[in-house]
């Protein structure tokens, strides 16, 4: 299944698609306000991009330094080449200690690794504790956005899900009431849990610690009650120095939701007294992206979601239509790196408006990379048949100037005479939901030649 039909299904519910679009634009507008309140915003973006470029240029050294420092502080560092290894490491940590109940804070990496279904198959109860993630987990869905996992749900949907699973009053839709019900339900889960798992927003090579950012405090509660804390992190999450966090923490929440900083920015260094801290470093294709001059900068991503909130295509097609743990512009770059055959349609969805590159706090040239992916996928022969045939026909015509001029002349004469059904049908994707512009009487080439003729007459 590719992106376009899934997006078409989402857009079919017009009022809902409009609401989705407006909700995300509201977040984008908050981001603009927050960014404009920082006079040195561009300087921060530039610093962030430079820090990331430097880090990946010496990534192996920094990973070793991180491991050394983390170990010195009493953490245990594990390495996983892929999702399967990551999941096995987590399972072993849990089963060795007889853990049956795990609370998780939001981690896109564990979504990428499909950790939840894996652990559940092995008899472990996994509870996502971020409210948005809990909503989609109870609904049997995946997050549709990396920062706002349940952004596609209306409060009526949440009311229905909570009524079924948490026993809230039927028909209740008040966010205060529903959040309170979730608070009571999740507090129970926090108290019962025998282990807590968090993602990692930033890891510091210099100190061997890491930072987790949440507004709810769920990561902190999840790892403060049980004795076992597992942190799953992609190897690209490193920064060299603690002071680099000053740059990234100023950018992250402002770009994500327009907040000056998340409510909790927690710095973990080693286990707490009597506890255990395990950090799982995951590659899962990241070292391959490192090799590519075109796509390396996609590793800069700090998962703020700003590119999704601003993307006209994402806002109108819904996160689930991307079928990947990270959707939107950045997801459309990362997913084909992992599996071009499966995700070939994502870069085609881009309108190349460039808005994602404008808002990206770490200056990833997202729309350039999406365009590069299109060329790359065409080289790999991964275009749909209609696109491929269309491109071949265009190329045939464009390489023959006389034929091109003739075709233009015929089209300008013929098209206005044709009945509607011959222009607006399945063969003309451009005519869907929009009218073709009127054909001009003369082509640009003819107008240009005429003008040149007049000018030379005047000059002679």
CA distances from 444 to 190, 201, 439, 451 (A): 68, 53, 11, 11
| Other CB atoms within 10 Å distance of the CB of residue 152 | 20
Q: Which is nearer to another protein, 141 or 446 (CB)?
A: 141
63 near another protein (CB under 8 A): yes
Residue 132 binds another protein (CB under 8 A)? yes
Residue 22 to residues 19, 28, 35, 378, Cα–Cα distance (Å): 5, 10, 20, 34
- Produce one character per residue of 421-450: b if its CB has 16 or more CB atoms within 10 Å, e if not: eeebeeeeeeeeeeeeeeeeeebeeeeeee
Residues 309, 289: Cα–Cα separation, whole Å: 25
* Cα gap 55→60, rounded to integer Å: 9
| 71 forms part of the interface with another protein (CB under 8 A) | no
In the region spanning residues 191 to 230, those forming contacts with another protein, defined by CB under 8 A, are 191, 204, 207-209, 215-218, 220-221, 224-225
Of the candidate residues 13, 42, 120, 180, the single one contacting another protein (CB under 8 A): 180
Told to check if 2 binds another protein by CB under 8 A, we report no
- CB closer to another protein out of 260 and 445: 260
Could you say which of 13, 42, 64, 164 contacts another protein (CB under 8 A)? 64
The residue (of 54 and 442) whose beta carbon lies closer to another protein is 54
4, 166, 245, 397: which one binds another protein (CB under 8 A): 245
* Minimum separation from the CB atom of position 158 to another protein (A): 5
Q: Which residues, 289 to 348, sit near another protein by CB under 8 A?
A: 290-291, 296
Number of residues interacting with another protein: please give it, by CB under 8 A: 94
Q: Report the nearest approach of another protein to the CB of residue 301 (Å).
A: 17
Nearer to another protein, 2 or 265 (CB): 265
Among 39, 123, 171, 437, binds another protein (CB under 8 A): 39
Q: Does 271 bind another protein (CB under 8 A)?
A: yes
Closest to another protein by CB, 183 vs 375, is 183
Report the residue number, 270 or 408, with the smaller CB distance to another protein.
270
Shortest Å distance, C-beta 275 to another protein: 8
In the chain, the N- to C-terminal Cα span, in Å, equals 64
**Using the rule CB under 8 A, is 235 a contact of another protein?**
yes
The answer to whether 262 and 213 are in contact (CB under 8 A) is yes
Calpha distance 47→398 (Å, rounded)? 44
Alpha-carbon span 246 to 248, nearest angstrom: 6
Those residues with Cβ within 8 angstroms of residue 258's Cβ, 6 or more apart along the chain or in another chain = 27, 29, 30, 31, 32, 33, 34
Given the DSSP bridges, would you call strands 125-128 and 209-214 parallel, antiparallel or unpaired?
A: unpaired
Is the dihedral angle over the CA atoms 127, 129, 131, 136 positive or is it negative?
A: negative
Given 124, 146, 230, 281, the residue binding another protein (CB under 8 A) = 281
> Nearer to another protein by C-beta: 179 or 351?
179
d(CA 66, CA 234): 13
Q: Could you say which residues in the range 9-28 bind another protein, by CB under 8 A?
A: 23, 26-27
Q: Which is nearer to another protein, 42 or 450 (CB)?
A: 42
Q: Which residues in the 146-175 window bind another protein by CB under 8 A?
A: 148-151, 153-155, 158, 175
128 touching another protein, by CB under 8 A: no
Helix (H) or strand (E) run with residue 79 in it: strand 76-80
């Amino acid at each position: 299944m590719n992106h376009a039909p899934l997006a078409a299904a989402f857009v079919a519910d017009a009022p809902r698609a409009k609401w989705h679009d407006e909700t995300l634009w509201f977040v984008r507008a908050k981001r603009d306000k927050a960014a404009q309140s920082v006079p040195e915003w561009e300087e921060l973006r530039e610093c962030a991009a430079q820090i990331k470029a430097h880090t990946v240029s010496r990534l192996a050294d920094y990973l070793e330094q991180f491991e050394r420092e983390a170990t010195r502080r009493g953490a245990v560092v594990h390495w996983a080449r892929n999702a399967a290894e990551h999941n096995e490491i987590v399972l072993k940590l849990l089963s060795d200690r007889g853990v049956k109940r795990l609370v998780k804070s939001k981690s896109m990496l564990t979504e990428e690794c499909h950790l939840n279904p894996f652990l559940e198959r092995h008899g472990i109860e996994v509870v996502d504790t971020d409210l948005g993630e809990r909503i989609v987990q109870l609904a049997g869905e995946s997050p549709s956005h990396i920062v706002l996992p349940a952004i596609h749900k209306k409060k009526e949907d949440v009311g229905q899900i909570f009524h079924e699973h948490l026993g809230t009053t039927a028909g209740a839709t008040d966010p205060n009431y529903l959040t309170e019900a979730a608070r009571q339900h999740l507090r129970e889960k926090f108290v019962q849990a025998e282990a807590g798992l968090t993602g990692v927003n930033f890891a510091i090579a210099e100190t061997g610690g890491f930072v987790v950012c949440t507004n709810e405090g769920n990561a902190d509660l999840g790892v403060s009650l049980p004795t076992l804390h597992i942190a799953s992190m992609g190897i690209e999450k490193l920064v060299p120095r603690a002071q680099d966090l000053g740059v990234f923490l100023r950018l992250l929440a402002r770009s994500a939701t327009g907040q000056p900083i998340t409510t909790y920015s927690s710095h973990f260094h080693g286990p707490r007294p009597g506890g255990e801290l395990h950090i799982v470093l995951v590659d899962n294709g990241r070292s391959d992206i490192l090799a590519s001059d075109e796509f390396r900068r996609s590793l800069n991503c700090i998962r703020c979601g700003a590119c999704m909130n601003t993307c006209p295509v994402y806002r109108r097609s819904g996160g689930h239509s991307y079928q990947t743990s990270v959707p939107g512009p950045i997801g459309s770059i990362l997913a084909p790196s992992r599996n071009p055959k499966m995700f070939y349609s994502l870069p085609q969805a881009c309108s190349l408006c460039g808005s994602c590159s404008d808002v990206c706090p770490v200056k990833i040239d997202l729309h350039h990379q999406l365009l590069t992916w299109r060329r790359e996928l065409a080289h790999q022969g991964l275009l749909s048949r209609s696109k491929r045939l269309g491109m071949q026909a265009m190329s045939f015509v464009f390489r023959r100037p006389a034929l091109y001029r003739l075709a233009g002349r015929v089209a300008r004469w013929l098209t206005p005479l044709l009945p509607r059904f011959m222009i607006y049908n399945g063969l003309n994707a451009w005519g869907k939901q929009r009218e073709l512009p009127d054909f001009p009487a003369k082509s640009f080439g003819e107008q240009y030649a005429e003008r040149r003729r007049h000018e030379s007459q005047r000059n002679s």
